[in-house]
């Protein structure tokens, strides 16, 4: 009988602990808990009628190919629809620049596998999306974090770190950014900083991975060009774009896409051949229908109104229940699904999380969003999933919980 399985696991996996957010989910089964923890879009925004009609029709018309193996890079109909979807955002690509993925997390996994060797260095924001950290960390890399400011990463520090690394002969494999309504902070990178990141990418010869799940969910302010678009204006090939249908259509369908230089996409296709082969055709077809027959622009407008309202309510309720003397601050995002709350420095939000469970409310403790040296006094809040009544109640409970902790410290 084999008793030492751990010794047989690959070097990459032996110490690998998976997705840290997953570990708090086990606490959230109690229906009395209002969870602001997951990154879930609201089922109120699911196009259920469109999905029912489209799925019935596709199954009737095309069941043989739906039940068959299909193309690894992606269904032609979906590829064409995505090219049109991106063109409305001023990104112009050909099919050879695109691979359909089985969601954003798969897109991140392909990126990590393609670029990273054990010991490589990457640069990320502090904080950044925990799912990216987990996907990239599987290759046992070094992570350099750059503090994020209210308009994106501190680009001066970015430059200093790149220069210091250059002096030591270290060339990072890539810089990873979520420029629009970042997960977890909700912060959007300004146009000037996007241009500066590109300048740095050219100066130090380091590609940029631009992850854009929330780009179409802007509730206030003007759209800022994607880094991909800005790079196309320079005739460059420095950016790889990662997209998912999870937040604007539905996460259950698990479809997304990566875009980038032909050489990069070709190699991602090779990796996909060895990992999942093809993304299910049925799921791709549903995304094609989503982009072409389900009233895309109207749906996105509905999402913006719906989530924008929830965000406003959440922010107003925060003002009411977290007066300045509590020493709590929070971001005021222009879009997306998250905001970032900072509590007084002496409070560890992992402890606060356990207290919050007693108050029947949950959030994600902020330490999981750092690749190195985690800060402990933040929490990520999701406002898209809970109902409006629950959001108000959740803020009241959070405030009560924090007051109790502050009174003890
Ligand atoms: C920045 C970012 N990238 C990628 C993903 C993963 O998306 P998916 O659910 O499609 O795998 C998420 C999901 O929350 C995200 O916030």
- Going from N- to C-terminal start, the domains of the chain cover 5-47+297-408, 68-292
Distance CA 230, CA 191 (A): 9
As given in the structure block, the two tokens for residue 354 are: 């356990």
| Residues lining ligand 1, Cβ inside 6 A | 39, 103-105, 129, 131, 178, 183, 211, 213, 244, 246, 251, 256
Distance CA 409, CA 403 (A): 10
> What is the atom index within ligand 1 of the atom nearest the CA of 254?
10
pTM: 0.97
213 C-alpha to ligand 1 centroid (Å): 6
Choose one of 213, 253, 335, 380 to mutate for the ligand 1 pocket test, by most ligand atoms within 8 angstroms of C-beta.
213
> What is the atom index within ligand 1 of the atom nearest the CA of 245?
10
Which runs of consecutive H residues, i.e. helices, occur in 67-190? 76-87, 104-115, 130-137, 155-167
Question: Please, are residues 37 and 28 in contact by the beta-carbon 8 Å criterion?
Answer: yes
Q: Do domains 5-47+297-408 and 68-292 have the same CATH topology?
A: no
pLDDT value at residue 131: 96
323 C-alpha to ligand 1 centroid (Å): 33
Residue range 5-47+297-408 in CATH 3.30.360.10: no
Buried b (16+ CB within 10 A) or exposed e, 169-200: eeebbbbbbbbbbbbbbbbbbbbebbbbbbeb
* CA nearest neighbour of 357 among 19, 26, 129: 26
Residue range 68-292 in CATH 3.40.190.10: no
334 C-alpha to ligand 1 centroid (Å): 18
pLDDT value at residue 22: 75
320 C-alpha to ligand 1 centroid (Å): 31
pLDDT value at residue 24: 84
Q: How far is CA 334 from CA 197, 224, 300, 312, 352, in A?
A: 21, 11, 15, 10, 27
* CA nearest neighbour of 188 among 143, 162, 222: 222
pLDDT value at residue 166: 98
136 C-alpha to ligand 1 centroid (Å): 14
133 C-alpha to ligand 1 centroid (Å): 12
117 C-alpha to ligand 1 centroid (Å): 23
Choose one of 21, 25, 37, 105 to mutate for the ligand 1 pocket test, by most ligand atoms within 8 angstroms of C-beta.
105
Choose one of 217, 246, 258, 369 to mutate for the ligand 1 pocket test, by most ligand atoms within 8 angstroms of C-beta.
246
Distance CA 337, CA 380 (A): 10
> What is the atom index within ligand 1 of the atom nearest the CA of 128?
1
Region of 18 (left: φ > 0; alpha: ψ -120 to 50; beta: rest) is: left
Question: Please, are residues 335 and 218 in contact by the beta-carbon 8 Å criterion?
Answer: yes
Instruction: End-to-end CA distance of the chain: give it in Å, rounded.
Output: 53
pLDDT value at residue 60: 97
As given in the structure block, the two tokens for residue 115 are: 């670029």
Q: What is the DSSP letter of 177?
A: E
Going by alpha carbons, the residue nearest to atom 16 of ligand 1 is 183
Contacts of 40 (CB under 8 A, 6+ apart): 251, 382, 384, 385
Positive/negative CA dihedral, 186, 190, 196, 201: positive
Name the strand (E) or helix (H) holding 143: strand 142-149
pLDDT value at residue 330: 98
106 C-alpha to ligand 1 centroid (Å): 9
Q: How far is CA 274 from CA 74, 105, 160, 266, 270, in A?
A: 15, 16, 39, 13, 7
Q: List, run by run, the mean pLDDT of 10-residue segments along the chain (409 residues).
A: 93 88 83 95 98 98 96 98 98 98 98 98 98 96 98 98 98 98 98 98 98 98 98 95 98 98 98 97 98 98 98 98 97 98 97 96 96 95 98 98 91
As given in the structure block, the two tokens for residue 197 are: 């990141």
324 C-alpha to ligand 1 centroid (Å): 33
Going by alpha carbons, the residue nearest to atom 7 of ligand 1 is 104
Distance CA 178, CA 191 (A): 13
Distance CA 224, CA 327 (A): 32
What residues pair up with 243 in beta bridges, in sequence order?
257
As given in the structure block, the two tokens for residue 379 are: 């929490």
> What is the atom index within ligand 1 of the atom nearest the CA of 212?
1
Q: Reduce the DSSP state of residue 118 to 3 states and report it.
A: coil
Distance CA 43, CA 23 (A): 24
Distance CA 230, CA 102 (A): 27
């Amino acid at each position: 009988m084999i008793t030492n399985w751990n010794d047989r696991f690959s070097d990459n996996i032996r110490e690998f602990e998976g997705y840290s957010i997953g570990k708090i989910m086990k606490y959230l089964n109690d229906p009395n808990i209002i969870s602001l923890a997951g990154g879930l879009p609201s089922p109120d925004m699911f196009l259920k009628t469109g999905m029912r009609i489209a799925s019935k029709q596709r199954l009737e018309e095309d069941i043989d190919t739906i039940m068959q193996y299909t193309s690894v890079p992606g269904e032609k109909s979906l590829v064409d629809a995505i090219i049109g979807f991106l063109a409305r955002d001023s990104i112009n690509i050909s099919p050879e620049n695109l691979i359909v993925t089985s969601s954003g997390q798969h897109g991140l996994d392909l990126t990590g596998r393609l670029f990273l060797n054990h010991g490589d260095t990457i640069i990320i924001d502090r904080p950044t999306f925990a799912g990216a950290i987990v996907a990239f960390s599987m290759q046992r890399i070094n992570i350099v974090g750059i503090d994020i400011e209210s308009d994106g990463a501190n680009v001066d520090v970015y430059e200093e770190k790149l220069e210091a690394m250059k002096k030591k002969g270290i060339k990072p494999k890539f810089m990873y950014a979520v420029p629009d309504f970042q997960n977890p902070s909700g912060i959007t990178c300004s146009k000037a900083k996007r241009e500066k990141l590109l300048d740095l990418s050219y100066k130090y010869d380091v590609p940029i991975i631009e992850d854009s799940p929330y780009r179409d969910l802007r509730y206030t302010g003007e759209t800022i060009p994607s880094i991909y678009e800005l790079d196309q204006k320079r005739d460059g090939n420095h950016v790889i774009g990662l997209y998912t249908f999870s937040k604007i259509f539905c996460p259950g369908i698990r479809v997304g896409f990566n875009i980038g230089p032909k050489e990069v996409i070709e190699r991602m296709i090779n990796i996909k051949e060895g990992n999942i082969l093809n993304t299910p055709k049925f799921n791709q077809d549903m995304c094609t229908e989503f982009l072409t027959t389900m009233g895309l622009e109207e749906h996105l407008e509905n999402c913006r109104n719906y989530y924008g309202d929830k965000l406003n309510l959440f922010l107003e309720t925060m003002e009411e229940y977290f007066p300045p003397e509590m020493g709590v601050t929070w971001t005021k995002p222009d879009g997306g699904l998250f905001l970032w709350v900072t509590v007084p420095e002496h409070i560890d939000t992992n402890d606060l999380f356990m207290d919050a469970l007693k108050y029947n409310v949950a959030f994600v403790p902020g330490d999981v969003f750092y690749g190195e040296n985690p800060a402990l006094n933040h929490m990520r809040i999701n406002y898209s999933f809970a109902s409006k009544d629950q959001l108000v109640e959740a803020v009241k409970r959070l405030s009560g919980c924090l007051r109790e902790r502050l009174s003890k410290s």
